[in-house]
Amino acid sequence: MALAPDWAEGHRHLSGSLAASGDLAGAIAHALRAVGLMPEDNGAAVHAAELLMRRGNVEESAALVRAAAEREPSDHRVLRVLSAIEMQSGRLDRALAAIDDALALAPENPEYHLHRGHLLYRLGDVEAAAAAFDAGAALDPDNPAAQGAQMALHLDRGLITEATALGGALLHSHPDDKAAAEAVLHLLNYRLETIDGDYIVLADRAISPERPPRPLPRFTERLRIQCRVIQALIIRETRTRFGDAKLGYGWALLEPILHITMLSAVFSLMMQGQPPIGTHFFIFYFTGLIPYLMFVHTSSAMSHAITSNGALLQLPLVTTFDVIAARGLLEMITDLTVAVVLLLGFGLIGLQAAPDDLWTPSIALLVTAAFGCGVGFVNAVLTTRYRSWDKIWPQVTRLLYFFSGIFYVPGMMPEWARDALVWNPLLHAVDWFRAGFYAAYQPHWLDRSYLIILAILLMLSGFAFERGMRRRLCEPL
């Protein structure tokens, strides 16, 4: 970017990389720069608007999308995004006007009709909402969302027979849809609660024995369902994280490669070609950077899991725990894959990259990932409740870069400085990981139990924090 500051696509791709690493402010700056360089590109405007929404700048996000809609009023997709932003902002009349304009351009889109129906229902126009749901169902008769919306509306209007008929058709066409099954179960429970009156035996026949109540799902069944939900969320995050970038997941590799190369070039000149440990700068800085990135990527990406998945949290099977855990697991898998690919690359160019003890760096990286996930759960809650936290946490991670022994070893420091540094748990993560690559490096200040206990405590605290705040976190943002 220094060589081509006006490269619009470069700013857009860099924005995606910064957003994935947790630097939301930097991502927004480059996204807005891309919009300035490509004022006619609606895709760039929508990307910048989505980042602004994640930071809570609803008005600025809406202004970007409105400008795109005014610039190209025939783009119904921009109008649909504008309607969603206005809906989240509570401006339902404006949201309805935007979706009406989108429908005028794309009247055959069933999802637009369903969105319009939900808006009308929230505005209190039940009859118009029913007509919109009917229109969406007519365009896509097999759409479970359309059938579920019609069923819920009939139930709300007291049309129990019509709602029951729709529920039966929904189960028949989508027997494996958990959301549909739960909606029909809610309908049946409502019917049982409203049955009242006297009963008369019409025929003298044997009465079938009363069926025992259906047992609640066992723990293993609930766990299996939750694992399937998290797996689906990971697949979704994988497709959307670098979906608009030409390099795709190559950007995940590019960051540590450029980082290690820069550190090696600078410090090889300062240290006359001899790293503090070992013989190769690439391996030394690799052992410092990988644990740091594992912690920063997991804790930062999980911070925005709730704010960027508000729509998904309206689904009955998806909880805030699921979206946070999916982000953390994806970052762990990505960083672990990057570490393995880099080691293989070092081996191909002739460096002695294999660790002296494979188990030591593996366990160190696992504990570091758990530590990052624990912090990530806490960050996710804090980011949702306190908008300024997403500006504070990136500054904390930048300070940790200099105090975690990435490009030096604490033994190079005076004793008083080292005694202060050892309170930083990330320093122990780096030294633990590094000790697996250098058998002779066994620092006396390394306290593995300190990092393990902190990781466990933060994981438990994060789980408890999320669970205690779940009801508030699920409220529309």
Angle separating helix axes 320-348 and 359-385, nearest 10 degrees:
140
Question: What residues in the chain have per-residue pLDDT under 70?
Answer: 1-8, 11-13, 34-35, 39, 142, 144-217, 242-249, 268-269, 271-273, 474-477
- pLDDT one-digit tens code per residue, 381-434: 998 888 888 899 999 999 998 998 888 888 888 889 988 999 999 999 999 999
- pLDDT one-digit tens code per residue, 67-103: 777 777 777 887 887 777 777 777 888 888 888 888 8
Amino acid sitting at position 105? L
Residue 314 Cα to chain centre, angstroms: 15
Q: What angle do CA 249, 250, 252 make, to 5 degrees?
A: 70
- pLDDT score, position 259: 77
Measured CA to CA, the distance from residue 309 to residue 223 in angstroms comes to 22
- pLDDT score, position 388: 87
> What DSSP state is assigned to residue 398?
H
- pLDDT score, position 463: 92
CA-to-CA dists, residue 23 to 20, 35, 225, 239, 299, angstroms:
8, 18, 33, 20, 12
- pLDDT score, position 126: 74
- pLDDT score, position 392: 92
Q: Could you count the other beta carbons within 10 Å of the beta carbon of residue 50? A: 17
- pLDDT score, position 477: 47
Q: Please tell me whether residue 290 adopts helix, strand or coil conformation.
A: helix
- Whether 42 contacts 72, CB under 8 Å: yes
- pLDDT score, position 105: 82
